[in-house]
Amino acid sequence: MGKVYVSDIIEQPGGGRFSARILMLVGLAMVFDGFDYMIVSFTMPQITEEMQLGFIATGSLASFSLLGMLVGGFLSGYLADRYGRKHVMNASIMLYALLTVPVFFVTTYDAFAVCRIMSGIGIGAVIPLSVTLVSEFAPTRHRGAYITATKTFMMAGWVLAGLTAMFVVPNFGWRMCYLVGGFPFLYGVLMHFVMPESVQWLLSKGRTQEALGIVNAINASLDAPKEGGYTVDEIEVPNAEGGGQLRALVSKKYLKTTVGIWLVAFTTCALSYGLTNWMPTVLLQSGYSVGASYGYTTLMNLLGCAGAVVAGLAADRLGRIRSAYMAFLLAGLAVAFTAVFGFGGLMIPACALMGFAINYAYMSPAPITIEAYPTEIRATGQACVTTVARIGGFITPMAIGGALESGSTFSTVLVGVLVPLCLAALFTKLLIKTETKGVALEDLCGDTTVSNRTANE
């Protein structure tokens, strides 16, 4: 019998059950991650009133988390490619949970800033590692859906934050929300015992016996498992690329794609995070009640989950590039509709449409960022993309605050959002041209050659 990829084993009937288990384990971590990030948006109005903040300072309440996420996202990729996905992710979960709790006790703007920056390190680390880990266990034909589903769990956390705030804030005050945000620490401990390490990473590090144990666990979950399991000689081991992790990302081989992915990630994240963070406050200041403001924003996030799911399905059916173009067009139409009609009595359909469309646009490039790099630099590549994206997310809430403080209306701000959407489409067209739909991870980026695989069959 010739050698097989790990992807080949996962693709067999029944292999999806193991992949789905990984998705659910990682997905729940992303729900907690999304909750601890987004809870700031739903407590911004109360913090602003208590601390007597202006528009720019109010916008920075959300940006502090993103500043920490820049650091956490960047470091996590390097550490995960060096020491493994599992341990770095679990430690990050426990870190952000522990550092969310102190916000309950803060009384000053500066203390709030320090706490959110520190917890943001853990929040930012979990996101790229979750996507990387799920992608390396995902069936090839559904990899796009698995990748975007992982981030959809994060948006489910945004919805959970809104629902929690709707009950907790009026009854117990805004501070209690941050005590709730400490619960994921227990889940991080649990993940240490139930989450397997990435087989792709273990093989890339020469830890074949550990990888083989997980491969045979996957085999045991199949409808028709291979009798006796697999041996080391039957598993195709990817060829590692030499050179440093960061240097490889900007090498001649990957530079054009890397720049394209970074620019698209920057623009789409700026759009998604900027609008989502400001919606509760803008609605309150427009005369809506607390319940209506939180309810409309939660609706926006709920439809955002649907947009993320559609992004994955469309990427697997239409292809990564075509799906991205469709997403950018739909997001532009949704933003324009909200700017013209949203504050004229059509806020519910505007929030629903904009939540769906902007998160479809935000999630559509996600499969491309995973599939652009080989195993040994994949986590670093994903972490760098996430870091660049968070720069956009960090700047935008404060930029929107500055625009509002200068007298601009939120409708005018929405019109300005059309610019980054056009740029995202342009960057995709000029710099990201390779379609990766339906290609095994091992066949991407020269992990191992197709000719070698054919020779072994």
Q: Per residue in 308-354, pLDDT tens?
A: 889 988 988 888 888 988 999 999 999 888 888 877 778 888 888 98
User: What pLDDT is attached to residue 410?
Assistant: 82
Got the DSSP string for 233-273? GGBPPPPPPPS-HHHHHTSTTTHHHHHHHHHHHHHHHHHHH
Q: For the residues 359-388, what does the mean pLDDT come to?
A: 81
Q: For the residues 119-134, what does the mean pLDDT come to?
A: 90
User: What pLDDT is attached to residue 362?
Assistant: 87
Distance between terminal CA atoms of the chain? 7
User: What pLDDT is attached to residue 101?
Assistant: 94
Q: For the residues 256-271, what does the mean pLDDT come to?
A: 87
Is residue 299 within 8 Å of 352, Cβ to Cβ?
A: yes
User: What pLDDT is attached to residue 226?
Assistant: 87
User: 4 — phi, psi (to 5°)?
Assistant: -130, 155
Q: Per residue in 43-62, pLDDT tens?
A: 988 999 899 888 888 878 87
268's CB contacts (< 8 A; 6+ apart) are: 361, 362, 364, 365, 389, 392, 420, 424
Report which of residues 67 and 35 the model is more confident about: 35
Q: For the residues 178-198, what does the mean pLDDT come to?
A: 93
User: What pLDDT is attached to residue 450?
Assistant: 37
pLDDT at 451 over 50: no
- The vertex-270 CA angle with 409 and 127, nearest 5°, equals 140
pLDDT at 457 over 80: no
What does the mean pLDDT of the chain come to?
A: 84
Query: What is the CA 374 to chain-centroid distance, rounded?
Result: 19
pTM above 0.85, yes or no: no
- Which band of pLDDT confidence, cut at 50, 70 and 90, is reported for residue 433? low
pLDDT at 40 over 80: yes
Report which of residues 452 and 64 the model is more confident about: 64
Q: CB atoms < 10 A from the CB of 318, how many?
A: 15
